[in-house]
Amino acid sequence: MEIIANYGDILLMLAVAFGLFMAWGVGANDVANAMGTSVGSGAITIKQAIIIAVIFEFAGAILAGGEVTATIRKGILDASVFTDSPHLLVYGMLASLLAAGTWLMIASSFGWPVSTTHSIVGAIVGFGAVGVGVDAVAWDKVGSIVMSWIVSPLIAGTLAFMLFRSLQNLIIDTKHPFDNAKRYVPFYMFLVGFVISLVTIFKGLKHVGLHFDLGTSYLLALGFGLLVMLVGTIIIRRIKVDPAENEDFHFTSMERIFSVLMIITAAAMAFAHGSNDVANAIGPLAAIYSVIESGGMIGAKSALPVWVLLVGGGGIVFGLVTYGHKVIATIGTGITQLTPSRGFAATLAAASTVVIASGTGLPVSTTQVLVGAVLGVGLARGLAALDTRMINKIFLSWLVTLPAGAVMSIIFFFILKGIFGA
């Protein structure tokens, strides 16, 4: 308690700085999940992607980023262990933010799409197990996170494979792809509206205190899906075949129809992502704020001031603008060549997986889900369509993420302990 009383203000300033750094890392690395497929497919330029993401990521983080954040991120640590030594929790959360932010900076500089969730989880597990004691970690929770590494990309990949196969059969491999696109794309638009609104309801709106029962959630999603379908149909009817643009690539006019779809999915995914993943940066920050404000009391919940959300939202946007282009390039063009129709299949599959995961409570990484979906689309075109060297690099960076976060967190934890005292 004495350390909290003496150094509370300094520790809180460090928490804001490290939280901002972590949020910057989320923006630099994770926002590519929402934007990579849209840019890679040519539906929007990187400049347009940044503008869309700045608006919708920030809106998601601020509007749906959380009224109350659990003090211990995702129940990874046992709070009762820190009752007599709350300063150790503060050190640990500071170390976790710094470690995860550092790892995200390293990964982003190489263009590796790694999981921000796993970065912070690895960091918290590391300081908890080594700095405090093995019993401080809820190992069953860690086990389910490791399982999600395998399960979530597989689900997304399978869904993307099936979606793209349906596009091939109904539109791409037919005699009149443009006419068939006009006929069938509105139904896919309905699917997009339905799934994306479910992602927002399940993953986003619950943070604002808006809780809907299952029936109401599906009814709202149904209504939004029909609205997107109606608006999309009106826009699509205005698209005409231009014979000149189809000379080099037979499907150019058809792909323009899918471009309309990609802009909708990009905006909606950015909102859902901002509302969900801002917690990776502000969860530990909220925990530190709670401990310091209460003079060392470990509470089960911590009230979340608006400025904490602003730190998270601002950091995410700054990270995307300054450094996000590298990971966007990896997701968009590094794994397989994307067109708007392929990008659409990948984005919708990824969003659907997030919905399934939310319903079952499986902790998934949006990065791994989206990479899995892009792989699924590539596989639907045959193994030759995939860049296996890039895929190997991505898988390796996933494996390294948890231990990298843990090791750095342990080092930073003991440095902080040495500076401020045990």
> CA 22 from chain center: how many Å?
14
Give Cα separations from 337 to 37, 257, 311 (angstroms): 10, 18, 36
| Mean pLDDT within 91-108 | 92
Give Cα separations from 20 to 14, 93, 293, 417 (angstroms): 10, 13, 19, 22
Return the structure tokens found at 317: 């946007």
- Residue 301 predicted with pLDDT over 70: no
Is the distance from CB of 200 to CB of 268 less than 8 angstroms? yes
pLDDT (0 to 100) of residue 358? 63
Is the distance from CB of 330 to CB of 390 less than 8 angstroms? yes
Tokens 């902790």 locate to 363
Q: Regarding predicted confidence, which is higher, 231 or 306?
A: 231
Rounded to 10 degrees, the C-alpha dihedral 116/119/120/125 comes to: 150
pLDDT (0 to 100) of residue 207? 55
Residue 242: burial class (beta carbons within 10 Å; 0-12, 13-18, 19+): exposed
pLDDT (0 to 100) of residue 96? 93
pLDDT (0 to 100) of residue 261? 79
Tokens 């896919």 locate to 188
pLDDT (0 to 100) of residue 86? 82
Rounded to 10 degrees, the C-alpha dihedral 68/282/319/403 comes to: -130
Stretch among 126-135, 221-230, 274-283 having the lowest mean pLDDT: 274-283
Q: What is the mean pLDDT of the chain?
A: 81
Task: Report the percentage of the chain scoring pLDDT > 70.
Answer: 87
Nearest CA-CA partner of 58 in 283, 282, 310, 281:
310
Q: Regarding predicted confidence, which is higher, 104 or 358?
A: 104
Highest mean pLDDT among 118-127, 252-261, 263-272, 360-369: 118-127
> CA 8 from chain center: how many Å?
32
- Phi and psi (nearest 5°) for 397? -65, -30
**Residue-wise pLDDT tens digits, 181-196:** 888 888 988 988 888 7
DSSP 249: S
pTM greater than 0.85: no
